[in-house]
Amino acid sequence: MKKFNIRKVLDGLTAASSSSSSSATAQPGTRENDLIQETLQSEHFQLCKTVRHGFPHQPSSMAFDPVQKILAVGTQSGALRLFGRAGVECYCQHESGAAVIQLQFLINEGALVSALADDSIHLWNLRQKLPAILHSLKFNRERITYCHLPFQSKWLYIGTERGNIHIVNVESFTLSGYVIMWNKAIELSTKTHPGPVVHISDNPMDEGKLLIGFECGIVVLWDLKSKKADYRYNYDEAIHSVAWHHEGKQFVCSHSDGTLTTWNVRAPAKPGQTITPHGKQPKDGKKPEPCKPILKVEYKTTRAGDPFMVLSGGLSYDTVGRRACLTVMHGKSTTVLEMDYPIVDFLTLCETPYPNDFQEPYAVVVLLEKDLVVIDLGQIGYPIFDNPYPLTIHESPVTCCEYFADCPAELIPALYSVGCRQKRQGYSKKEWPINGGNWGQGTQSYPEIIITGHADGSIKFWDASALMLQVLYKLKTAKVFERARGKEEKPSTDIVEEDPFAIQTLSWCPESRMFCVAGVSAHVIIYRFSKQEVTTEVVQLLEVRMQCELSDVDSPDPGGEQTPTLPTPGASSSPQEGEPPTQPSTGSTSSDGPRNNIPCLQVRNSPLKQSPGYQVELVIQLVWVSGEPPQQITSLAVNSSYGLVVFGNSNGLAVVDYLQKTLLLNMGTSELYSPSEPYQRQPCSPRKIRQPSGGLCESNEGSNASEDRCKSPTSGSTSPCNSDDERKQQKFIEKVKSKSRRFSKTVANDFAKMSRKINTASEQKPDLDAKDNSFSRSRSSSVTSLDRESREAISSFHFCESFPRKTDSAVSPSLLVGTTQGSVLLVALSLPPSGDQRLQQPVGISSCGTLIRLKGGVLTMALLDSTGALLPPTYEPWYDPNASDEEKEKSRKRRAASPPSSQEGQDSQYAVVCSEKQAKVVSMPSQTCVYKHNITESSFVLRADVVLMAGANCIACFCANGHIMTLSLPSLRPLLDVNYLPLTDMRIARTFCFSSLGQALYLTSPTEIQRITYSQETCDNLQEMLSELFTPVETPEAPNRGFFKGLFGGGAQSLDREDLFGETASGKASRSLAQHIPGPGGMEGMKGAASGVVGDLARARIALDERGQKLGELEERTAAMMASADSFSKHAHDMMLKYKDKKWYQL
């Protein structure tokens, strides 16, 4: 009778129940696997957004709380960004996604009112770390154009497109019955509609007078009590904005013809003064030439000197091409400040929140389309403040991104020390004026670094610790190349039409500080970190010739059983010395012949001064081959312990010894397979023959020649789209088609690749992985760009100390190579002893064939020891390359030790491999697959990383269908699967990255980084870690009226708005006009409201009402007692008179 192994049965059931697509194959190595105790459980994972960094994308409005010192910015997508002191920022989003047209703070009350383009207004509670909406009001019949909330008032004025003004109680968010109708505000004799309301403000000295500006040029001073217009001011040019003098006797209007009109309140007949700040004044006394509209003006007074008038726009029409300007008029001087981008809005920051006092302006906040600038009004020349916020992420478009958590502690100070020398001079010496809020009390103390690569070839290192972001250091990679001065000098940069220095991928070793980047022009630059400045006389250059295999004309291999013949290698596998940089290139540059052996970029010949920080060690360039441009680099890795850099593309891979500055290996992908392998890969054509569709992407992978243009497979397949996912994918592809022409070639190329993957995701053969040892694939000699795309490219590398061959008993330096068609290949490295021999003897390299094969391209690889702990690549501790030899030797003695050897006959390592479709764990050195998990069938994985989480390792994956998943190691149990973010933008696919300790990020817009966490612990501590926007601050005292003003009735006139706008006085508003919507803040929002000042005001009013009621009852009782006493006294008096003259015996 056959015995059952109950343990294996249970293991199989467990694996099957965890996921229908997961399977654990019973291999001899699994018994040892059972000993590994996996500590990670589903309870350790939870997904949530943490913070958003960067400049608000497409800003539309701005507001400032002068007491709390908090700045709010609204965007065209309905987002709100709030900024306080450096490190205090917050992001929230309106559900509707409509543009924010105006923001109004309830000053020093921890609340904010937002007005949206969909005619809704919302009240935000800022007294909680995650602001929530308390109330919303949606207007049904009228469009909102302007809002005004007076200081310390609960009544919000709302102007509409029809010219009417409605009033909203911000405590209850209900409409008042008091309405100012446009036809009552303007003169009855006016026959035309005055247009939308463009301005509302109350007289600083009299709250009962409301100034209303209509677009057509009419301004009305409305008496709220008498409900009629006191004065009407007419001007024949449209109005854009209005500003009061603090004494309430004058106001200034800005107009569409570039003029400013100053009006005296009691003289409505004509303006007291009309000026055109940027207009040319004719000598004959005529009106100056019209200028562009002055979009906004602010009029701020000072106690000691002349007032400030700040305005945007108003330039003359002959300044074509001139950048946007902000004009500051102070006394007789006029200063024009040029901005880098168009102005969206500006605000003048003043010392007092009271509009009826001297304003004392000290700064101007200017919101530009792509920047935020704060100008110091207190210093000569109006210098700008040094902006502490991380708003320069988009200085050049981000092309790649990497995230490193738990870095060496000394790394951030080292980068900061070299980065602080790069700061510009000439900033204001004062402190940043927007300094409200408090930092969070975060428990996370480990260093985090984000590296962004940009289209102009620059690299930025960011300190991302404790949910903050601060730029540490900027590296400009384009400095090593000659810059073309004109179009005629660009003969060799046409591999890409624009941004030839754009960063494609990067590799960084934080411990050794070795840094390596690959650019779109098929170049690789290796950097070392040094604290000393050096001048490099000649930049070390290595040119590499990698070409595609053109001799592959074999017929299709139907069965996969026969051994195909090895094609003639197209790339030399022998070490190839690069030409000395002092010699001119021998490549063919003649116009009549094909380009050959020339690189895409010209390395500079002059000496290169290199500041402290990252300094160029070696430049590697791929060259043109027989008229074919070099293929862009798809993968890159550097190892400081071995002194090697490896990179690959669709032609093959190259290994470079950066210590000896030599090329060690230059091999086609097909040559990596051993001749005996049955499923040896060849350059191949697509799985299905499809007609190329024109127009998806005009970019190419190399040449700009018309015959080499990249055409994608047809995006619309013949089968109908049944599922929602397919429909979304189709929409995305259509969107790509319409937009691809607007992007640079690099980005458009990414779009084309993404489109192909989406289209071919459902066309994968279901039995592709049924048997790992059989594979059939047709091969073609075509070298069109479509075929070039389908060739097997190198997709990932991993340096490790492992067992390159099954027979090995001790670990040795190795390289794992992953390809786009799912193969993982092993390469053995033979390193000379360290010291002088390392610099003189060559490094030996030999290919050891295939380790395993998966569905989809290989994304990431890692190595675990026998206990399941991660084995990171070895590294050499950092030393300063420009330091003395003694210091170098000291640091080199601390070199990391190699992992111990394994016992014979036992597997002591596990190789973890994750592809676009699958994850597998392979036991080493036996090379048996012990665990396998099919991650996705209908979609594909965009990014995968092996990360450390809660003291254990797991695989984190982000799929194109928006799912974020984690798998345990080594058993590949699914621990987390959340549908987080459907892929609608190529930017997300290009920038999404995971880091250890449960962190991840991606570019959510061209200007913003969104950070998320998949750690339950971080989610639990998030409230503590987030910064606080609201801090208790006392409101400044109101200005003193003075003795004479108090005596003779001067000074500000107050108004009891409750008597005017309350329901008892004005009645109820029309129900159909607006709909009240309770906020989604729930109990948390209600608690916030209860603790907020709005709630305090409501409670105080209720308390006052109760007190008044009790006082009234007491008064009634007192009156009743007095009446009773009077009655008793009267009766007593009558009794006394009645018995006054009677004797006692007469009673």
Q: What is the DSSP string of 334-372?
A: EEEEE-SS-EEEEEEEES-S-TTS---EEEEEEEESS-E
Does residue 239 register a pLDDT over 80? Answer: yes
Confidence of residue 991 (pLDDT cuts 50, 70, 90): very high
Q: Position 795: which residue type? A: S
Q: Position 34: which residue type? A: D
Cis bond before residue 150 (omega within 30° of 0): no
- Give the residue with greater pLDDT, 893 vs 555: 893
pLDDT, mean over the chain: 80
> pLDDT at position 851, please?
93
Q: Residues with Cβ < 8 Å from 1003, sequence gap 6 or more?
A: 398, 401, 987, 988, 990, 991, 1009, 1010
What gap in Å lies between CA 345 and CA 322, rounded to an integer? 18
What gap in Å lies between CA 950 and CA 965, rounded to an integer? 16
Does residue 591 register a pLDDT over 50? Answer: no
Q: Residues with Cβ < 8 Å from 289, sequence gap 6 or more?
A: 279, 280, 282, 316, 317
- Give the residue with greater pLDDT, 131 vs 1114: 131
Residue that the structure tokens 């030439």 belong to:
289
Task: Kindly tell me the burial class for residue 538, based on how many C-beta atoms sit within 10 Å of its own C-beta (0-12, 13-18, 19 or more).
Answer: middle
- Pairing verdict, β 239-244 and 541-544: unpaired
Cα dihedral angle (41, 47, 50, 55), rounded to 10 degrees?
140
Confidence of residue 22 (pLDDT cuts 50, 70, 90): very low
Q: What is the DSSP code (8-state) at residue 901?
A: P
Helix 724-739 × helix 745-760 angle, to 10°: 160
Q: Position 752: which residue type? A: A
Task: Kindly tell me the burial class for residue 563, based on how many C-beta atoms sit within 10 Å of its own C-beta (0-12, 13-18, 19 or more).
Answer: exposed
Q: Secondary structure of the chain: what % helix, strand, coil (to 5)?
A: 20, 35, 45
Cβ atoms of 353 and 378 within 8 Å: the answer is: no
- Give the residue with greater pLDDT, 119 vs 580: 119
Phi, psi values for residue 770, rounded to 5°: -60, -35
Confidence of residue 317 (pLDDT cuts 50, 70, 90): confident
Phi, psi values for residue 1135, rounded to 5°: -65, -40
Confidence of residue 47 (pLDDT cuts 50, 70, 90): very high
pLDDT tens digit string along 479-497?
999 876 655 555 444 577 7
> pLDDT at position 426, please?
87
> pLDDT at position 85, please?
95
Listed in order, strand segments (DSSP E) in 370-457 are 372-376, 398-405, 448-454
Mean pLDDT lowest among 343-352, 714-723, 928-937, 1133-1142:
714-723
**Signed CA dihedral, 400, 405, 410, 412: sign only:** positive
Nearest to 480 by CA among 539, 419, 396: 539
Confidence of residue 1117 (pLDDT cuts 50, 70, 90): confident
Candidate ranges 534-548, 848-862, 1104-1118; pick with highest mean pLDDT:
848-862
Task: Kindly tell me the burial class for residue 199, based on how many C-beta atoms sit within 10 Å of its own C-beta (0-12, 13-18, 19 or more).
Answer: buried
Cis bond before residue 1078 (omega within 30° of 0): no
Nearest to 647 by CA among 500, 769, 817, 802: 817
Q: Residues with Cβ < 8 Å from 149, sequence gap 6 or more?
A: 104, 105, 106, 113, 155, 156, 157, 170
> pLDDT at position 346, please?
97
Nearest to 171 by CA among 137, 206, 209: 137
Helix (H, G, I), strand (E, B) or coil at 682: coil
Q: Residues with Cβ < 8 Å from 808, sequence gap 6 or more?
A: 925
Does residue 1090 register a pLDDT over 70? Answer: no
- Give the residue with greater pLDDT, 867 vs 900: 867
What gap in Å lies between CA 467 and CA 1025, rounded to an integer? 7
What gap in Å lies between CA 653 and CA 792, rounded to an integer? 11
Confidence of residue 589 (pLDDT cuts 50, 70, 90): very low
Task: Kindly tell me the burial class for residue 171, based on how many C-beta atoms sit within 10 Å of its own C-beta (0-12, 13-18, 19 or more).
Answer: middle
Task: Kindly tell me the burial class for residue 406, based on how many C-beta atoms sit within 10 Å of its own C-beta (0-12, 13-18, 19 or more).
Answer: middle
What gap in Å lies between CA 427 and CA 908, rounded to an integer? 59
